[in-house]
Chain A
Amino acid sequence: MSLISTLIGTLLFALIAPAVGCLLAGLDRIVSARMQGRVGPPLLQPYYDVRKLFEKERASVNSVERVYVATALLFALLAGGIFFSGGNLLLCVFVITLSSLFFIMAAYSTRSPYAEVGAARETLQVMAYEPMVLLLAVGFYLAAGTFDVGDVLALDAPVITTIWLVFLGLLFILTIKLRKSPFDLSMSHHAHQEIVRGMTTEMSGPTLGLVEIMHWCENVLFLGWIGMFFVWGNPLSIILAVAVVLAVYFLEIWIDNNFARVKWQLMLKSAWAVALAAGGVNIAFLAFL
């Protein structure tokens, strides 16, 4: 994929992903509410919330937090652009990690003890899911013969047929990446299981709005990773992929609403065990047979 197509892809992703992510977030809130026996807010409630955030006064504890958050958002958009323009999956993984790092730095920069606890936990979360993410890329390469996501459109069969174990591993760590309970250690949207507000404790107004938008874009990207498993040469496969993505998203909401936050030890150990078992076995199988 050439530089130009990646940049165009990033631009398009920056326009489309927030809209899609916003709708997904609205859906999340409605489905969650129904699971809890409530009616829930309108579908566009996340949009109203963020619009309100941007209308608020700009107040912050220092001058750099916002710069770091904006950089994190920029790299999240680039990662999405790389992925959806059919670029290199590993590069996409590395760029989204860079985005996470800037978000972690934003939290650390405030020196709020609560934000620092959140940032330390987020660092731990990255360490927990990173092996599986790398193994995902390796598995994809072994199955598709390329790191370029765009090449799935030329395959005779979707990669899920050969790397379904990797897919299960990805499902496990997806909960961490989406910051859903039980793995929402760094910042939770469930008020009952959070120390103040984790990483975003000191973020307010437009800065918090940027964080929300980044979260939407990340969700779209990660769900894109899920969809990638089900796309092949047949154009209709896109519909299948979208259906699977929606099902997985529903599953994540269900998990989110049914499990209480776990301790970090359990998260780290289980995520690494899953990476070793699912990723390791699948890759060994592909490499040797």
Chain B
Amino acid sequence: MELSFGLLGFLIVFPLIVAALLLVVRQEAPRRIIVIAAAIVIAVASIALVLGNLGASTTLFALQSEAIDFVCTGISVAIAAVIIGFAVRYKNLWAGLLAAVQIVGTLVLEFVFAHEIEVPYGLYFDSLSLLMTFIIGVVGSGICVYALGYMEDFQAHEPEGAADRRPLFFALMFVFLSAMYVIVFSNNMEWMFTGWEVTTVCSFLLIGYTRTDEAIANAFRQIIMNLAGGIGFLAALYSCALTVGTFSFFEFLAIGVNSPAVVTLAVTALAFAGITKAAQMPFQTWLLGAMVAPTPTSALLHSSTMVKAGVFMLVKLAPVLSVAPAPAIMVMLVGGVTFALCSFMAISQSNAKRVLAYSTIANLGLITMCAGVGSPEAVWAACFLILFHAIAKSLLFLCVGTAEHHIGSRDIEDMDLLFDRMPRLARFMMLGIMAMFIAPFGMLMAKWATLVSFVDARQVALILILAFGSAATFMFWAKWLGKLAGIAGSPENVEGTVKPTEWAALLLMACLLVLACVFLPVISAAVVEPYIFTTYGALGQDISGDNLWLASLCTVVVVAVLFAGVNGRQKSRRVNVYLAGISRDNDSRSFQNALSGTAEASVRNWYMEAIFGESRIAPVGVVFNSLIMVVAFVVAFVVTPIVF
């Protein structure tokens, strides 16, 4: 236990030290050494913590310190002050206003309400925290390594004389990791709140990295929405202080399960905070806007940090949600509507990063639905959705980022012939895509468990949402996959200049993905089931072991086909593609037409704007979900008794 406690502290503090170091190092070579070494250390420490505590139940660590409380309050105030500074500089009223509310709220809470509340056990971990530790430590630091090569290319693509903000960039990435560890290890909800706000401000600074008008505008959109979520968190802390009388997350959840009425308002407010952070509709626009940032930022936000903090919070709340109807219905419906509508809207997008963003939001919606249902089976599914989504999505973002630098576009239509031009990258991308939506990969196995848990909970609306949303998911991934699968012959291979650090990160994600899919039953037994058991006192798992292993077997076959099967030399006679004329060039699909001229055939994917366009669908979700949340808060206010 001593060792685990030490590792916990190390994982929180070490990235901060690295960040401070990176802030002052301005040369590329030492930065590379520091980032790679730090990433390895963090990954090893995370894995050590996970492996050392396999099957662990909730483990609390006695840690109570006025000093840490004050430091946390100080950080929260400092964050708000930074935001107010930016708000004044860029004349953004709302951001300034919300930050001011937060300063006042934090100070009043700390000095008026909270100073009598003591949390003897400041830190904890359980198997869910360990799962998150693995994601943050391995996937997160993998992305940091990838960023080395990417940012070198990125800086080279910048106009002459552009400011080099890379020291700040890399420092922020590591601060982000530290803040995530604070969120998943803090039992003291005030500390957790500080970590929560740090992730908000870090993503604000990362999104605004390029300081273009668009970046600034999107950064402010992000900060406004997440500050609103932060105020929700703060409201939950007030409600805790007034009605529950503790800031211990563990106790809070235990009380909530036994007497849900007492915590209804706090849970609703925390769920609201989780929903904003997880970019559920109506807050989906901040994550869509976040793609103006350099790709490693998107990868980090989408896969291992930020949005995962949101769903982590919701999954932690799941046991309470299963007995508190008002917030549960809010969470289920918001997640469900988001899942279906964002899957639909993804069909109409041709920008690869935007497709990925919609898919992220949709999958977070799915996790949110599971949390809302709150049964052991649903939480089992949610845990696996978090894991597989983190790995597959980071793989995809890294692929798209690298492709963008080498083919000069992030449009899916321009990825024609990627299989020839960047053969290895295209295969990684295809693996990532398949892992997102098709059996036998883990994501779909988790979706399967989700479906069964919805049926067992008799949630007919959610079943329908899942059925139609999944169908749309097939459409937008399959057409992208098809674009990548095209093979013509011998276009120039442009893969040679991809940086080694990028390959290393891509290979890491691909290996993690395949291993996690193949050994899903093992991960279930070692990490996910212990969490379910300690939380619910019962095991809940819908898919029999035999079927899971059958899926593992299929995974091996699919991966073998993708990486070995399609590499063979062509044994059959090679013929030209039929083009209603004499073919002239297979690469450009040109042929001799009836007038002996050269005609080119071009094919575009389907986007079905008239049915699945954003302008048609987005307003429906925004209005519906906003109404749901308003109603849920009204009910929560009525239900929760206020004790003074």
Contact = CB atoms under 8 A, between A and B. Distances in A.
Interface string A146-167: 0100000000000000000000
B440 A98 contact: yes
A101 B435 CA distance: 13
A67 B471 contact: no
B589 A113 contact: yes
B448 interface: yes
Contact of A62 (B452, B487, B558): B487
A71 B557 contact: yes
A61 to B, nearest CB: 5
Contacts of A87: 547
Interface stretch (B5-13, B218-226, B311-319, B567-575): B567-575
Nearest to A75: B554
Interface residues of B, number: 66
B2 to A, nearest CB: 43
B561 interface: yes
B398 to A, nearest CB: 22
A200 to B, nearest CB: 11
Contacts of B30: none
A112 B579 CA distance: 7
Contacts, number: 202
A75 B557 CA distance: 10
Contact of B578 (A98, A104, A105, A114): A114
Interface residues of A, number: 72
Interface stretch (B33-41, B191-199, B473-481, B498-506): B473-481
Interface string B581-612: 00000100100000000000111011000010
B483 interface: yes
B467 A275 contact: yes
A127 B475 contact: yes
A97 B547 contact: no
Contacts of A71: 557-558, 561, 565
Interface in A66-120: 66-68, 71, 74-75, 78, 82, 87-88, 90-91, 94-95, 97-98, 101-102, 104-105, 107-114, 116-117, 119-120
A258 interface: no
A170 interface: no
A169 to B, nearest CB: 11
B472 A113 contact: no
Contacts of B616: none
Nearest to B566: A64
B91 interface: no
A283 B546 contact: no
B572 A98 contact: no
A260 B605 CA distance: 25
A140 B605 CA distance: 35
Given A101-B434, A104-B482, 16 more contacts: A59-B575, A63-B569, A90-B448, A91-B551, A94-B439, A95-B554, A98-B440, A109-B487, A112-B579, A123-B478, A130-B470, A131-B471, A135-B464, A196-B580, A279-B464, A283-B460
Interface of B: 419, 434, 438-440, 444, 448, 451-452, 455, 458, 460, 463-464, 466-468, 470-472, 474-475, 478-479, 481-483, 485-489, 544, 546-547, 549-551, 553-554, 557-558, 561, 565-566, 568-580, 586, 589, 601-603, 605-606, 611
16 contacts: A1-B546, A58-B571, A59-B574, A61-B574, A63-B571, A71-B565, A91-B448, A91-B551, A95-B554, A105-B481, A112-B577, A113-B579, A124-B475, A268-B611, A287-B455, A287-B458
